[in-house]
A and B are shown apart, each in its own frame.
Chain A
Amino acid sequence: MIFRNILAVAGAAWLAATAALAQLPDADGQAILVVAGDIAQTNAGEEAHFDVDMLRNLDWVEIETYTSFTEGPQRFAGPTLASLLRAVEAQGSKMTATALNGYFVSIPIDHAQAHDVILAMEHNGERMRVRDKGPIWVVYPLSESAARAKPFDTEMIWQLQRLEVQP
């Protein structure tokens, strides 16, 4: 009797302990980004669903940058891709990013750190609608001259919907 109690308490304590480490909350609002694949943190079966608030709670940054799709300096705000990957504890080397219209591209995981990629959700202070390339545009911050060379045109996928992490 006492042994079973001790076991129960120990079990609960262990659960609590593990839970205290980076626990991914559930998505309350509409999930605008789904992350699946080689990840350790999920909140919907094998997937991790993110709503706007969850994304806001990640490492939210504001940047001024140039892109090869725009003229002149642009302001973007959104969480860093690196923080998202940390939140889901992504364990692969690359990921397939899929857009709302079916377009997809493979992005190496290390780009997140190497190029300070952000998941832009606000453009020049405004929430990005689908017609504005929202809800999420994968933006690589670049200088004006670097942008002219169009280095990451294929990786800068807009209308991002899903990330599938692969080994």
Chain B
Amino acid sequence: MSGLTRRYLRIIFAMAVLGCLVATILVMRSHLLREDQHLTHSMSTVAWKVSETIFEAQRLEKDLLRFEYGEIDKSALELSAELFWSRIDVMRRTEVMDGTELYDELNWAEAYLVEHEGLIFGPAEELRPRLREMREDIRRWRQAFRHTWIGQRERNRELVIEAVAARTGGMQAMSEYLIAGCMIALALYMAMELALSHRAHERERRLRRAEEQANAAKSAFLANVSHEVRTPLNGVLGMAEELADSPLDDDQKKLVKVIRSSGELLLATINDVLDLSKIEAGRIELEEQPFDLRARLAECRELHLPAARARGLFLDLHIDDDLPEMVVGDMLRVSQVINNLVSNAIKFTEEGGVDIFVRALARSGGKWKLSVSVRDTGIGVSSNARDQIFRPFVQAEADTTRRYGGTGLGLTISRNICHLMDGDLTLASVPGRGSTFTATFELGYMSMRSDAADVARQQVGAAAADWTARVPRSRDRAAAADGGDSVALDLLSGTGRANSTRSDAQGRQADAETALSDRAAQPEEGQHGPSARAATAGCRILIVDDSQTNRFVLRRFLSGFDVAVQECGSGEEAVDLARSAGFDIIFMDVQMPGMDGEEATRRIRAHEEESGADQACIVAATANIMRHQIDGYLAAGMDTVLSKPVRKADFLDLMGRLGHKRVA
């Protein structure tokens, strides 16, 4: 019997007991009412009978006298006698009379009548001499009777009550037991319910605590895995980059290329896996930032255009006229989804091309419902594969992975993201003819002065061409998340300490524009290469990271710079070193055993305050770059963020900026 059934049974039982109680009370009440009426009736009946008896006695007395004086005839007297007699008879039968003095009086009267019956109903001559005597007898009897009645009234009352109670006593007692029983049962039931509910409460609390612990453990695990994997990857990718920059022959160049692309794929896979676990653990928080949707879409197209052209495909963007300019939501995630769909479309299309349709479906309750349809003329998806492809690590056919590569997670993550944004990811496809993936999602809308938006759009659009060249690597993952936006983060946080955030969309676009326009479409080093070196000449740099590999990578990147570099492997050492000697730039790893990067930063800042020393520029080197995490770093006193695995180009960029700031 399940807990719920038991509960219902208990409730039904309690209801039944309650019903029984109510019924019993009602029955008892009506009973008591009736008894009350009976009692009243009995009492008044006795009094009535007594008064009638006295009345008839008086009438008989009177008629005896009237007969004596010849006012009435004998039949009238006889009638009076009969009436008096019937009164006596009726009263003698009344239930409470037995054993009382009143009863004795009545018996006397009855006996008297019987004795004088012959006299009363016989010949008048025999009666006449006895009239006076009889009248006297009746009178005396009447007075005695009344006297007794007065004396006995109280006692009589008690007798009546006793008689009535005796009649109903049994039932009343039973009712009272029943009522008491019901009340006890109900009280017990309530106590039991309370106890059970308390127990359920306790159990729930325990479960919730266990769940919280499990979640905390999961988060810690994810953070650890993220850290543990990215650290060596940092080494692989970083050093592969260094290798690529060094002089190589053609054969070696090919080998390095393979190393790099494998590393990139590994990174992409790890990111996807971590992403998915985060989504499934419900740990994904969607950002709520305003961004220019149209600009984003244009960027996306630009990003994938080279790849499309390389395969001889067209890539066209069709945006609805009533699509809003600015929307509020998680730009990274939206871009992630769109990029995933577009790159898939290009990947799985041999000839023809890809159309991207962006529509505003509805607007309600402060939210835009948007749809992005990516239509390709590719190989299509067979009907049995249709559900499969959204599952993790499954691609349409077994050899698809071999032919087309990919992690097999992109669609799963994209669909989850769409669900998170109150939308969905659906597929319509004809094998051999093409597929159309449609992502729907909701974004908040905000109004903005159109002129400012125009300016921002133009600026970003102009810079888009340069932008795309900067991020050739990741295809399956949002370009922004890896190289692009971390740079934007750097830029933003570089414009001012502690308080700078991404809240101002306009400012953000402006900053992006400033940075991008400075950069030409250069492969690895970026425009800042030589100028970065110049600007940071003579700087004292401290590298803090518990991983020797990571420190090595950064040192390598710094090899072309004219700087003094020191290393240490823990937060404590960093604080000591910073105290004893000043540094211009500190690259601080965030996740370290013992004292972490944030704590070390706080200490260093505190020391700078006390001693009045110049403030170093502290860069958080970390893979965790979510909004609230960045806020944390800035609050601890860090200036900017460098995302891991570190890309040489990002690094040089950062150095350039930091150097220029110093100079200025």
Contacts and interface: CB of A to CB of B under 8 A. Distances in A.
Contacts of B90: 69, 133
A131 B86 contact: yes
Given A101-B56, A150-B41, A159 B93 contact: no
B89 A131 contact: yes
Contacts of A101: 52, 56, 59, 83
A52 to B, nearest CB: 16
Interface in A53-89: 69-71
Contact of A158 (B59, B86, B93): B86
A100 B85 contact: no
A159 B41 contact: no
B516 to A, nearest CB: 106
Q: By CB atoms of chain A within 10 A, which of B56, B59, B86, B93 has the most?
A: B86
Nearest to B81: A131
Contacts of A153: 45
Contacts of A146: none
Given A100-B79, A101-B56, A150-B41, A133 B93 contact: no
Contacts of A70: 93
A144 interface: no
A115 interface: no
Nearest to A131: B85
Contacts of A126: none
Nearest to B83: A101
A133 B86 contact: yes
A159 B83 CA distance: 9
A28 interface: no
A132 B86 contact: yes
Interface in B67-92: 79, 82-83, 85-86, 89-90
Contacts of A69: 90, 93
Nearest to B87: A101
Contacts of A100: 79, 83
A101 B48 CA distance: 14
A126 B93 CA distance: 20
Contacts, number: 30
B82 A129 contact: yes
Interface in A90-148: 100-101, 129-133
Interface residues of A, number: 14
Interface in A3-49: none
A150 B45 CA distance: 12
Contacts of B59: 101
Contacts of A133: 86, 90
B31 to A, nearest CB: 13
A130 B79 contact: yes
A129 B117 CA distance: 13
Contacts of A158: 86
Interface residues of B, number: 13
Contacts of A159: 83, 86
Interface string B572-588: 00000000000000000
Nearest to A130: B82
B83 A130 contact: yes
Contacts of B93: 69-71
A130 B86 contact: yes
B265 to A, nearest CB: 100
Contacts of A71: 93
A111 B41 CA distance: 23
A100 B85 CA distance: 13
A69 B79 CA distance: 22
Interface string B170-208: 000000000000000000000000000000000000000
A82 B56 CA distance: 32
B268 to A, nearest CB: 96
Contacts of B52: 101
A104 to B, nearest CB: 13
Nearest to A150: B41
Contacts of A132: 86, 89
B183 to A, nearest CB: 31
B534 to A, nearest CB: 121
A10 B79 CA distance: 50
A130 B45 CA distance: 21
Interface in B501-542: none
Nearest to A148: B167
A71 B95 CA distance: 11
A129 B86 CA distance: 9
A150 B56 CA distance: 24
B261 to A, nearest CB: 106
Nearest to B89: A131
A133 B90 CA distance: 9
Nearest to B59: A101
Interface in A141-167: 150, 153, 158-159
A150 B89 CA distance: 19
A110 B499 CA distance: 101
A133 B89 CA distance: 10
Nearest to A129: B82
A73 to B, nearest CB: 16
A70 B41 CA distance: 18
B235 to A, nearest CB: 106
A158 B486 CA distance: 116
Contacts of B89: 131-132
A131 B87 CA distance: 8
Contacts of B79: 100, 130
A19 B56 CA distance: 45
Contacts of A130: 79, 82-83, 85-86
Nearest to B167: A148
Nearest to B56: A101
A133 B85 CA distance: 10
B550 to A, nearest CB: 104
A92 B59 CA distance: 34
A132 B86 CA distance: 6
Contacts of B41: 150
B83 to A, nearest CB: 5
A100 B52 CA distance: 13
A71 B93 CA distance: 9
B455 to A, nearest CB: 101
A99 B613 CA distance: 128
Nearest to B88: A131
Contacts of B86: 130-133, 158-159
A100 B63 CA distance: 15
Nearest to B55: A101
Q: By CB atoms of chain B within 10 A, which of A71, A101, A150 has the most?
A: A101
A132 to B, nearest CB: 7
B209 to A, nearest CB: 68
B486 to A, nearest CB: 98
Given A101-B59, A131-B89, 10 more contacts: A70-B93, A129-B82, A130-B86, A131-B86, A132-B86, A132-B89, A133-B90, A150-B41, A158-B86, A159-B83
> 5 closest A-B pairs (Cβ-Cβ)?
A130-B82, A131-B85, A131-B82, A131-B86, A101-B83
24 contacts: A69-B90, A69-B93, A71-B93, A100-B79, A100-B83, A101-B52, A101-B56, A101-B59, A101-B83, A130-B79, A130-B82, A130-B83, A130-B86, A131-B82, A131-B85, A131-B86, A131-B89, A132-B89, A133-B90, A150-B41, A153-B45, A158-B86, A159-B83, A159-B86
Interface of B: 41, 45, 52, 56, 59, 79, 82-83, 85-86, 89-90, 93
